[in-house]
Homo-oligomer: A and B are copies of this chain.
């Protein structure tokens, strides 16, 4: 779409702001902006105020680096959680995914990304130093490495492993294998191979369903 044909500079500016969002092209941006224009003015000001407050007031939890409204997030502040078990994840979406399983009662450590030389992200850009400090404190019994099973995730796992392996901590990783509902025929070779190597006693799998 030719940008010169916008009937209004205000409209064009709003569309170009929306187009900076990931996955939003100019046509979608125009649709969103025209939608906002059809809403009552109060709705739009609530929309912008919510964003402004979010950007200005949101904090990073001092313990786990998760996003939080308070200095310490609700998970880290919960005395019922096991603070000796730390699950290392890439970002806050992963925290939300694991919380939704309701299978984990420990606490988290959000790295803020994975080591990715291609994207210019090195260990210093992540919260790995802070994780080392935690490991050295003696308060942690287990660190669960729960990064994505990509090359960058594996690299980061290994980097962290090297940094903390000398502390008296058990270091574990998420189980890899068939997803629940997977058909063998359509499972990739590497996953299938691993799930054969790491086969578990059948009675264990019974208890988990």
> Footprint of B on A, CB under 8 Å?
1-2, 5-11, 13-14, 17, 20-24, 28, 30-37, 41, 43-58, 61, 66-69, 73-75, 91-93, 95-96, 99-100
Contact = CB atoms under 8 A, between A and B. Distances in A.
Given A67-B7, A99-B5, A93 B34 contact: yes
A17 B32 CA distance: 12
A55 B51 contact: no
Nearest to A21: B32
Contact of A14 (B13, B54, B75): B54
B34 A55 contact: no
- Of A6, A51, A91, most buried by chain B (CB within 10 Å of CB) is A51
Given A13-B54, A41-B55, A54-B14, A96 B7 contact: yes
Nearest to A73: B7
A30 B100 CA distance: 15
Q: How many copies does the complex hold?
A: 2
Given A22-B31, A24-B32, A47-B51, 8 more contacts: A2-B99, A8-B69, A8-B73, A11-B67, A13-B53, A37-B54, A37-B67, A48-B52
B55 A8 contact: no
A58 B43 CA distance: 16
Nearest to A98: B5
12 contacts: A7-B68, A10-B57, A14-B54, A17-B46, A20-B47, A22-B35, A23-B28, A24-B32, A30-B93, A37-B67, A45-B52, A48-B51
A51 B51 CA distance: 11
A44 B13 CA distance: 14
